[in-house]
Chain A
Amino acid sequence: MLAAVSAVTFGWILTPVRADGDSMLPTYSSGKLTLVNRLAYVSNRPRRGDIVAIRLAGPRVVYIKRVVGLPGERIAVTDGDVTINGAPLVEPYVRHPGAWNVQEVSLAPDEYFVVGDNRGASDFGRVDADRILGRLVF
């Protein structure tokens, strides 16, 4: 019974993931183990600042990124400074800024803009909502 509960919990509800790489420094260092709450967005949508797991071909290998832009918003980045609908975004979690640039783009109704906290070493971009598996728990 305990094994079945564990299998369901850690297989379908709280999926363990291990950070690999430096793209989420200092929030997650490489090797850190955490959990993805797969039920986080069953009744809610991702919010700005959430750290989410993004699936590739499936749930075993995921990207870990922070949500900075929400559906329908206009987002632009100039020398690392993010603006949402023309207003600067305050990002206290960024300790490693980078001089990255993104021309203003409008997000579709089912798109989020995500990026790692280590702005000098992270991929970034728009992601479809259905690729977001859940929110990282801690």
Chain B
Amino acid sequence: MRWFQVRAGVLLPLLLGAGCAWLGDERAIRARLGDLAGTINARASEGLGSVTRAAEISAFFTDDVVVELGEGSAPIQGRETLIGMAMRLQPRLSEFTVAFADVTVRVAEDGQSADVSLTAEFIRKDPGHRQSMDAREFKLTMRRDDGEWKIARMTAVDTLK
């Protein structure tokens, strides 16, 4: 009986600790995605023209990020390419705000990567303040990089084929 109590006394905190760490990663990833949306939206009207803003956005992606937007679009390879494209498309992008819904996170056993699925909502307000929304499903691979969770791969999912 005593031996069981000793083992339980040792194992329980270990299991709780592992569970908390796992939940901590999931929570950190959700917070990170929330920060990404916040960063995009906070200055949506200011544009990506400043180096500061580009640096802020790029901090959410790994150097070798790959973005796949589906059939007919070549994959975007690398953070610099991605940010460059975003800056060129800025006049259009600034009309939108982004929100993430239905976020599901699965952290790998080694705690260094995670698979995420989410729905990105793109909300547009035209000059007449009429609001319209488009939504797209994405699958992300996130990687721990210098202590931060960053997007390493982002793939658009075709809900309607």
Contacts and interface: CB of A to CB of B under 8 A. Distances in A.
A59 B132 CA distance: 19
A41 interface: no
Given A63-B159, A124-B160, A127-B159, A20 B102 contact: no
Interface stretch (B18-26, B57-65, B113-121, B142-150): B113-121
B103 to A, nearest CB: 7
Interface stretch (A50-58, A66-74, A80-88): A50-58
A56 B102 contact: yes
Interface residues of A, number: 20
A55 B137 CA distance: 9
A57 B161 contact: no
Contacts of A125: 158, 160-161
Interface in A23-79: 30, 54-61, 63, 65
A21 B131 CA distance: 9
A57 B117 CA distance: 6
A40 B113 CA distance: 38
A131 B102 contact: no
Contact of B119 (A20, A60, A65, A114): A60
Interface in A96-126: 114, 123-126
Interface in B102-161: 102-104, 117-119, 121, 132-138, 157-161
B101 interface: yes
Contacts of B119: 56-58, 60-61
**5 smallest A-B Cβ distances: which pairs?**
A58-B102, A125-B160, A56-B137, A57-B102, A57-B119
